[in-house]
Amino acid sequence: MARVLLIVLGALLLAGCGGEEVVAPTGSVEGTLPKVAAANPVAGKTVFESSGCGSCHTLKDAGTTGQIGPDLDEALKSKDLAFIEQSISEPNAEIAQGFQPNVMPQTYGSQLTSQQLKDLVAYLKTATQ
């Protein structure tokens, strides 16, 4: 009896695993997801200033001269948006030459909203190009 029960249980588990069927959402998805605004470099400068970035980084456009972290005018020159975003949200992913890991707080990726991060990245991109 126990053996039959195990076989039935096994068959049910296998049946539940299903194939590779693709499931499409029901109804219209359009209009149900929050819209993310376009990146705003002006708002990004405000994020840079209010987050205290200038106390550690030099950035000519912001008038800051911090020296704890890399000079952003040099470190971000000709870098793409993905690199800049990763440098903020995962600062230990790539350490600038001459600097130590774990100096920049590891929390900006979760501390900033996605819009603030997007704006900050846009600001740094425009300010360093």
Average pLDDT, the chain: 84
Task: Give the residue with greater pLDDT, 105 vs 24.
Answer: 105
More confident residue, 85 or 23: 85
Q: Which two tokens stand for residue 97?
A: 């030459």
For tokens 């106390």, the residue is: 55
| % of the chain beyond a pLDDT of 70 | 72
Residue ranges of domains in the chain:
41-127
Q: At 76, is the pLDDT very low, low, confident or very high (cuts 50, 70, 90)?
A: very high
pLDDT of residue 10: 55
Residue 6: is its pLDDT beyond 80? no
pTM listed for this prediction: 0.72
pLDDT value of position 37: 83
The CATH number, out of the four listed (3.40.50.80, 1.10.760.10, 3.30.450.20, 1.20.1510.10), of the domain defined by the range 41-127: 1.10.760.10
| pLDDT band of 93, cuts 50, 70, 90 | very high
